[in-house]
Structures are given as C-alpha cells and as structure tokens.
Structure 1
Amino acid sequence: MTDRLAALYAAFNERDVPAVLAALSPEVVWPNGWEGGTVHGHDEVAAYWRRQWAEIEPTVVPTAFATEPDGRVAVTVHQVVRDKAGSLLADQTVTHVYRFEGDLIAEMEIRDS
C-alpha cells in the first residue's frame, strides 16, 4: 500500500490528474484543504485541483506511513506551498488519512500534525 500511495503523491506533484483519479473511488470524498469543505467524485476533485494549481504550487512529499486500528492509512507529509511567483506561502507537516474500499481510496482526511 505504501508504494501505491507514494506513487499517488508523485502523480499529484506532477499534476497528472488521470493517474491520481485512477486510484480514487468514483464516489470519493476529498477534503478541500484550500477553500474549505469537501468535494465528491472524480469531476469535483479534478476541478478543485485545477482551480488550486491555477493559483498556487503545492508539493507534497510523504515521510511516514502508519496503519490505524480501524484499517485506515495515515501518511505524514511535508507540504510546501508557493505562489505562482515562487514565494513561499507554507512549509508544514500534516497527516493525510485514507480510507480504502478495495484497492481504491474512498475518503481522505487532513489532520494537523
């Protein structure tokens, strides 16, 4: 599972929307960490990322993986966000928690680390 999640982050950082969506359930629930709330399904997730990437340049690198008692997978990530001019907006560590249905991600949650 860690290899698949690491590949997911690499695809996100490369802005490869089709590769990331292929790992998500069609009914995925995804946090809108930039604007607030959640988005649902492939179309809303893709539209959210495209809006985000039009304004900012986030890079998210996993640094640790752990399985929670309920089976979800927690990924500690180093997140660096820059504006389009390259100025640093955020440099932080957060935790992303994934719930799977079969091999697909059904839900993701963001926790402050």
Structure 2
Amino acid sequence: MGADQIDRRHRLQGLYAAFNRRDLPSLLAALAPDVTWPNGWEGGTVHGRREVADYWTRQWAEIDPTVSPVAYEAEDDGRTSVTVHQVVRDSTGAIVVDERVRHVYRFSHDLVADMEIRR
C-alpha cells in the first residue's frame, strides 16, 4: 500500500468516526466544496456540502446509522474502496438494516470529491 493510500485510509477512518458521532463540521471539512454524494436513504444524489449536510441532518432525525470500515482496497482507477458493516436502527432502536456494502471514494487533492455505494 502506497503512502497516498495509507493517507486516504487514515482520512476515511476519521470520516467514519465523525459520521458515527454525528460531527457534521468535521465531516463537511473532509469533503470537496462540489462533492457528489449518494443519497442511500432516500435515493438519488446530492451535490455540494450544503446538500450533503441537509441530507445527513434529515437522515439522523429519522434513523440511527452506524458505519464501521472493515477493509480497504485501492481500485485500478485510483479510487479507494472501503468495505463497511452498516447497522441502521429506527427511532425505537430496532435494527432495520444489518449488512456489508462497499463505499468507493474519489479524492481531489486531500478532499473527498465523490462517493459511490456498491451493494
């Protein structure tokens, strides 16, 4: 694993930790201003930090997702793939999703430029 991939892995670990503690300022600081992000909850895609912030705020008001990275891999095109274990609970604490998926990130400089969810 090259130095860039180690740095990206470290950045992504911080991103997941911030997401799980609902630290919106830290999350947004890790994203490019024109980031493209999948709306995995409602469907579609959101663009830019403001839309991502609005999406996460809506999501956290309705459901309680926890996402834990379990494996990292460099893609041939330079993106970084992260296998994650995600558990989503409803407002009563009942588990509604417990699965592994892949998140694939493209970086622009040191910021996340886009993310793709692969099931």
Q: What TM-score, normalized to structure 1? A: 0.98
Secondary structure of the residue aligned to 1:90 is strand
The answer on 1:14 being equivalent to 2:21 is yes
**Letter in structure 2 aligned against 1:6:** Q
Q: For 1:92-103, what aligned pairs fall within 5 Å after superposition?
A: 92-103=99-110
Match of 1:31 among 11, 35, 38: 38
Match of 1:84 among 91, 98, 103: 91
The answer on 1:58 being equivalent to 2:65 is yes
Q: What TM-score, normalized to structure 2? A: 0.93
Secondary structure of the residue aligned to 1:7 is helix
Cα separation, 2, equivalents of 1:62 and 1:20 = 16
Cα separation, 2, equivalents of 1:17 and 1:79 = 19
More helix by percentage: 2
**Letter in structure 1 aligned against 2:77:** D
The CA deviation at 1:55 is 0.4
Q: CA offsets, 1:24-80, max 9 Å, x none?
A: 000000000000000000100000000000000000000000000000000000000
User: Identity over the aligned pairs, expressed in percent?
Assistant: 65
Aligned to 1:2: 9
Question: Gapped runs of 5+ residues in structure 1?
Answer: none
The CA deviation at 1:4 is 1.1
Question: Gapped runs of 5+ residues in structure 2?
Answer: 1-7
Aligned to 1:108: 115
For these two proteins, the number of residue pairs brought into alignment is 112
Runs of 4+ aligned residues of structure 1 deviating over 3 Å after TM superposition are none
**Letter in structure 1 aligned against 2:56:** W
